Amino acid sequence: MKIRGLAFMPLLWVTWSLLGLCALVALTMILGHEKRPYISDTGKAFPESVVYMVVFLVTSIIGAGVASIQYKFMILRCEPSEKRYIIFQRVLYVIGWTVCIGTAINAIFSVKTGATAHRIGAGLAFVFGALYNLCQAACLYKRSFSSRRMCHFRLALALVTIVILLICILYC
């Protein structure tokens, strides 16, 4: 399977997510529903709840595509004799899809309509997302597909995410 020409997908994923969140927060603040909204608070009232659902559902779909492309790329770049590495990539592929499923659950169930499902989806998305990024950063170091600067940057972002999650778990 060729993956050439799909390098825009991770950029699209990040750009869509960032612009969608910015629009969502701006809409929430302009309508005066929240003064300092958390991400989950933006999906409580209409019309923000619709925008919230669309942004996160599209994010989960693009994320699933990125996880699939990344899996194919890593598998194409390894030798068939590297069985442990192939198994590790399959596990990461499942983790990547778990992140996308968590994001979709988070989109469908707002804090107002299904708080427990929303928290489960957010937990899946954030915890497994941090784990996925950390493991992929380690793979980039080992395989040297990217420049060292990019490896350092991705590892730093993964570690910051994990620190923030630990702080949230300890103090929330």
In a domain, 47, yes or no: yes
Please provide the average confidence, as pLDDT, over all residues in the chain: 81
In a domain, 151, yes or no: no
Beta strands in 18-108 (DSSP E): none
What residues make up the domain containing 96? 8-134
Rounded to whole angstroms, what are the CA distances from 27 to 2, 40, 72, 112, 154?
40, 14, 38, 18, 31
- Regarding predicted confidence, which is higher, 112 or 102? 102
Burial of 136 (0-12, 13-18, 19+ CB in 10 A): buried
CA 124 to chain centre: 10
pLDDT at 5: 62
Can you give the pTM of this predicted structure? 0.78
pLDDT tens readout for residues 109-122: 877 778 888 888 88
Confidence of residue 2 (pLDDT cuts 50, 70, 90): low
In a domain, 130, yes or no: yes
| Weakest mean pLDDT among 40-44, 59-63, 147-151, 155-159 | 40-44
How far apart, in whole angstroms, are the C-alpha atoms of residue 55 and residue 62? 11
Which residue from 47, 42, 46, 16 is spatially nearest to 29, judged by alpha carbons?
Answer: 42
Residue 150 gets the label, from left (phi > 0), alpha (psi -120 to 50) or beta, of: alpha
In a domain, 3, yes or no: no
Rounded to whole angstroms, what are the CA distances from 21 to 27, 51, 55, 59, 168?
10, 9, 8, 11, 20
Report how many domains make up the chain: 1
| Residue 41 DSSP symbol | G
pLDDT at 108: 86
In a domain, 155, yes or no: no
In a domain, 100, yes or no: yes
In a domain, 163, yes or no: no
Please check whether residue 154 is in contact with residue 130, taking contact to mean a CB–CB distance below 8 angstroms: no
- Is 70 exceeded by the pLDDT of residue 6? no
- Regarding predicted confidence, which is higher, 3 or 28? 28
- Is 60 exceeded by the pLDDT of residue 71? yes
